[in-house]
Amino acid sequence: MLMIPGPTPVPEQALLALARAPIGHRSGDFSKVFADVTAKLQWLHQTQHEVLILTASGTGAMEAGIINFLRRGDRVLVGENGKFGERWGDVCDAYGLQTERVKAPWGHPLDPEVFRERLTADSAKTIKAVIITHSETSTGVLNDLVTINRYVQDHGTALIMVDAVTSMGATSVPMDEWGLDVVASGSQKGYMIPPGLGFVAVGPRAWEAYKTSDLPRYYLDLGKARKDGAKNTTPFTTSVNMVMALQASLSMMQREGLASIFARHHRQQQATRAAVTAMGLGLLAGDHCASPSITAVLPPAGVDAEKVRSHLKKHFDIVVAGGQDQLSGKIFRLGHLGFVADRDILAALAALEATLQQLGHAFPAGAGISAAIAQLGQA
Amino acid sequence: MLMIPGPTPVPEQALLALARAPIGHRSGDFSKVFADVTAKLQWLHQTQHEVLILTASGTGAMEAGIINFLRRGDRVLVGENGKFGERWGDVCDAYGLQTERVKAPWGHPLDPEVFRERLTADSAKTIKAVIITHSETSTGVLNDLVTINRYVQDHGTALIMVDAVTSMGATSVPMDEWGLDVVASGSQKGYMIPPGLGFVAVGPRAWEAYKTSDLPRYYLDLGKARKDGAKNTTPFTTSVNMVMALQASLSMMQREGLASIFARHHRQQQATRAAVTAMGLGLLAGDHCASPSITAVLPPAGVDAEKVRSHLKKHFDIVVAGGQDQLSGKIFRLGHLGFVADRDILAALAALEATLQQLGHAFPAGAGISAAIAQLGQA
């Protein structure tokens, strides 16, 4: 049982679609599937604009979202308060951009006011893009995209590029309403299918910038994907079986409905946070910046986070994630993203309660699960 | 029934592996699978060197194989006698390389002597790489990699980079014995699994060039893949389910054995060519340069290639490929690559015989299938 922030559990309908004999990627039958999947992706992104499908991980999708719309030497602001924010800064460096990192400590949200200051001071309009990790998977922090984006819109020319890898499908990211220019995500998250596909939604201001972008790329060239996407195909052989699985999972999501999906993620997030707190554990991210999809937990004093993880795996066959880089050994991360039922949350939290007791951490018996049940019942 | 040069048919063992619930890509269990798959890939490539797994199509793998080992402005020779050779030239152009195309007409092989002349004239050692499409999928031509590579080895410093997308797993490409520096391929071909993974094998001379390469990349950075590969993991989330399917298919290939796999492809190629000829059709590629995996066929005078394809699809549910770009409508292409039994070849050729008769093309009844049977029996 996977309770990590990706790969997330995959429903049977999607697994069975994966197991079908592949059809030709240039066939009329596949084009129909591709058109349907594209429309469903637009529904999920709440956009009229292109949502392009790449055979790549979320990192490949985000890199494509950056390098197709900028010129060498362009000044970019990159929010950095976790592993993924760091990564986008590294991508910008790799392509010779003038990268300005706007940092916050891991576990804290980015400060929108720093972005406001830089953007309002930029009367010469030298800032070409602001790159934000919406839900920082490494810390379970949801950055305040709404406020930061408002400042970017006020700036008038900078593009807003969003890593929505663990927010898309977990909370509302209405691309058109917010005026987001680039939104990147990956298949093994809210999409409920295995890793292997990346998605990049691109708005008209970004396509305008594409015309003058000069960063080298070929496989990740989104202009090619756009051109072929208009004919319901891809420039390079796409992962046919994964697209079939995606059709199955997006169909399930449409039946559930966006409001219901987001409410479910919020409810499970609240239940997880309440339970963890009731068990006397700490939360890395505050209530005002809690990710809808991942909760980073501080183990009790004297208990190693890795010990909690290995106990959960050994005795309950439940896999939770560890800390990354500077948080390694200091936290464990509970995923509640994608195909997760309230029952799964209860199972994971009950197993966590058992684990903590068995590791000698004292708290009122049943406190965690009772708090979770109360939260689940409120929705 | 797919008889195209990719996606190729997928055996049930691989489909069932695809349909398993994903495991964590950072788990110990997955690392064991990854190590096993890597060893099997080395077996297939007949190499002791790294074979890296990318979540990308064959194009992404080949692009990675080019851009990790060169510097901006480097002079490269690119063999171009079909759509894929053209593509590698375009990749080189996109990254600002000094691209010299060595051309041959589509359907003809590259002339090794042209490479010899350029390489021997290059006493200043300005040629940094020679890029060859081994089996040109668009025309069914197998280029003379052995001879061209000999000239590259004589040159002494140029790297040899090989697109082995439709030759790997169909004919012997002994990387170490031949001294190939970069060999790229893709999962939906000889590997017998769906599209979604790309492979790049890299030799020590290429890694030496990596140290000074300055072309920008991040997702396609093979140094990252090498570093994490040594720990049996990947820098970015890999397509877990596809790697599980790959383990299943490579296990099947090991049970069959390399010699037997290559003999099967050769036998089916010979049977296809004999049958097509006996039915009075033309072959685009000559006997001396016939691809082991794909046969491009010229339809009879007065019969449109697309008509043959649509008839095969409609009446026999067999999908064969059409011509690409300048060969569009002029040829159809029969794939005999990967998970193809002699029975499948007989079925496809019998259906082709029926199709041609029904479209009014006259030839001795049974001639094609008899020729195929005779060839299959010889092996």
**Cβ of B194 and A241 within 8 Å?**
yes
Between CA A20 and CA A36 the distance in angstroms is 18
pLDDT tens, B14-56? 999 999 999 999 999 999 999 999 999 999 999 999 999 999 9
Residues of B in contact with A90 (CB under 8 A): 218
| Residue A53: predicted pLDDT | 98
Residues of A in contact with B56 (CB under 8 A): 55-56, 60, 219
- Taking CA–CA distances from A5, the nearest residue in chain B reads B24
Contacts of B155 (CB under 8 A, 6+ apart): B119, B120, B122, B125, B127
**The tokens 């079986």 sit on which residue?**
A241
Between CA A272 and CA A251 the distance in angstroms is 27
Give Rg (Cα) of chain B.
Answer: 21
Between CA A323 and CA B212 the distance in angstroms is 34
**Cβ of B18 and A16 within 8 Å?**
no
A to B CB pairs, distance under 8 Å: 169
Contacts of B325 (CB under 8 A, 6+ apart): B83, B138
Closest CB from B7, B27, B60 relative to A25: B7
Contacts of A270 (CB under 8 A, 6+ apart): A375, A378, A379
Give the gap in angstroms from C-alpha A23 to the nearest C-alpha of chain B.
Answer: 7
Give the gap in angstroms from C-alpha B27 to the nearest C-alpha of chain A.
Answer: 9
> Exposed e or buried b for every residue in B134-149, given b needs 16+ CB within 10 A?
bbbbbbbbbbbbeebb
Residues of B in contact with A91 (CB under 8 A): 218
Same fold, A11-255 and A258-378: no
Between CA B319 and CA B8 the distance in angstroms is 11
Between CA A298 and CA B114 the distance in angstroms is 66
**Cβ of B57 and A220 within 8 Å?**
no
Longest dimension (CA), chain A: 62
Q: A202 pairs with which residues across the strands? A: A50, A182
pTM of this prediction exceeds 0.95: yes
Domain ranges of chain B: 11-255, 258-378
Residues of A in contact with B95 (CB under 8 A): 216, 218
Residues in chain B predicted with pLDDT less than 70, given as ranges, are 379
Give Rg (Cα) of chain A.
Answer: 21
**Cβ of B216 and A240 within 8 Å?**
no
Each as own residue / partner, the long-range contacts of residues A118-125 (CB below 8 Å, 24 or more positions apart, any chain) are: A118/A77, A119/A77, A119/A151, A119/A152, A119/A154, A119/A155, A119/A158, A120/A151, A120/A154, A120/A155, A122/A155, A122/A158, A125/A155, A125/A156, A125/A157, A125/A158
Residues of B in contact with A320 (CB under 8 A): none
Backbone angles phi, psi at B245, to 5 degrees: -65, -40
Residues of B in contact with A56 (CB under 8 A): 55-56, 60, 219
Closest CB from B9, B21, B237 relative to A10: B21
Backbone angles phi, psi at A191, to 5 degrees: -75, -15
Between CA B44 and CA B52 the distance in angstroms is 13
| Residue B379: predicted pLDDT | 58
**Cβ of B10 and A2 within 8 Å?**
no
Give the gap in angstroms from C-alpha B22 to the nearest C-alpha of chain A.
Answer: 6
Helix residue spans in chain A (DSSP H): 12-18, 28-45, 58-67, 83-94, 112-121, 145-155, 175-178, 204-210, 222-229, 240-256, 258-278, 305-316, 342-358, 367-378
Contacts of A371 (CB under 8 A, 6+ apart): A271, A274, A275, A277, A278
DSSP 3-state assignment of A287? helix
| Residue A302: predicted pLDDT | 86
Mean pLDDT, chain A cut into blocks of 10 residues (379 residues total): 92 96 93 98 98 98 98 98 98 98 98 98 98 98 98 98 98 98 97 97 98 98 98 96 98 98 97 97 97 97 93 96 95 97 97 96 95 90
**Cβ of A241 and B196 within 8 Å?**
yes
**Cβ of A57 and B219 within 8 Å?**
yes
**Cβ of A238 and B16 within 8 Å?**
no
Q: Are B171 and B185 in contact (CB under 8 A)?
A: no
Fold of A258-378: Aspartate Aminotransferase, domain 1 (3.90.1150)
SS3 per-residue string spanning A129-177: EEEEECEECCCCEECCHHHHHHHHHHHCCCEEEEECCCCECCECCCHHH
**Cβ of B237 and A7 within 8 Å?**
yes
**Cβ of B22 and A194 within 8 Å?**
yes
What is the side-by-side strand order in the sheet with A332-335? A2-3, A319-322, A332-335, A294-298, A282-283
Closest CB from A4, A22, A186 relative to B194: A22
Residues of A in contact with B163 (CB under 8 A): none
- Taking CA–CA distances from A90, the nearest residue in chain B reads B218
**Cβ of B94 and A240 within 8 Å?**
no
Contacts of A98 (CB under 8 A, 6+ apart): A73, A74, A75, A76
DSSP 3-state assignment of A51? strand
Give the gap in angstroms from C-alpha B97 to the nearest C-alpha of chain A.
Answer: 11
Residues of B in contact with A25 (CB under 8 A): 7, 195
Q: Using omega within 30 degrees of 0 as the cis cutoff, is the peptide bond preceding A204 cis? A: no
**Cβ of B90 and A218 within 8 Å?**
yes
pLDDT tens, B249-298? 999 999 999 999 999 999 999 999 999 999 999 999 999 999 999 999 99
| Mutation site for A-interface testing, chosen from B54, B92, B239 by largest number of A Cβ within 10 Å | B239
Residues of B in contact with A63 (CB under 8 A): 218-219
Give me the interface pTM, i.e. the ipTM.
Answer: 0.96
Closest CB from A67, A218, A241 relative to B63: A218
Q: Is B123 exposed, middle or buried (0-12, 13-18, 19+ CB in 10 A)?
A: exposed
Give the gap in angstroms from C-alpha A235 to the nearest C-alpha of chain B.
Answer: 10
SS3 per-residue string spanning chain B: CEECCCCCCCCHHHHHHHCCCCCCCCCHHHHHHHHHHHHHHHHHHCCCCEEEEECCCHHHHHHHHHHCCCCCCCEEEEEECCHHHHHHHHHHHHCCCEEEEEECCCCCCCCHHHHHHHHHHCCCCCEEEEEEECEECCCCEECCHHHHHHHHHHHCCCEEEEECCCCECCECCCHHHHCCCEEEEECCCCCCCCCCCEEEEECHHHHHHHCCCCCCCCCCCHHHHHHHHCCCCCCCCCCHHHHHHHHHHHHHHHHHCHHHHHHHHHHHHHHHHHHHHHCCCEECCCHHHECCCEEEEECCCCCCHHHHHHHHHHHHCCEEEECCHHHCCCCEEEECCCCCCHHHHHHHHHHHHHHHHHCCCCCCCCHHHHHHHHHHHHC
What is the second-level CATH architecture of the domain B11-255? Answer: 3-Layer(aba) Sandwich (3.40)
- Taking CA–CA distances from B57, the nearest residue in chain A reads A237
Q: Are B101 and B89 in contact (CB under 8 A)?
A: yes
Closest CB from B7, B218, B240 relative to A194: B240
Q: Which two tokens stand for residue A354?
A: 């058992």
- Taking CA–CA distances from A189, the nearest residue in chain B reads B237
Residues of B in contact with A7 (CB under 8 A): 22-25, 237, 240
| Residue A268: predicted pLDDT | 97
Between CA B377 and CA B379 the distance in angstroms is 6
Between CA A339 and CA A251 the distance in angstroms is 13
**Cβ of B217 and A242 within 8 Å?**
no
Cα A276–chain centre separation: 22
Between CA A274 and CA A69 the distance in angstroms is 42
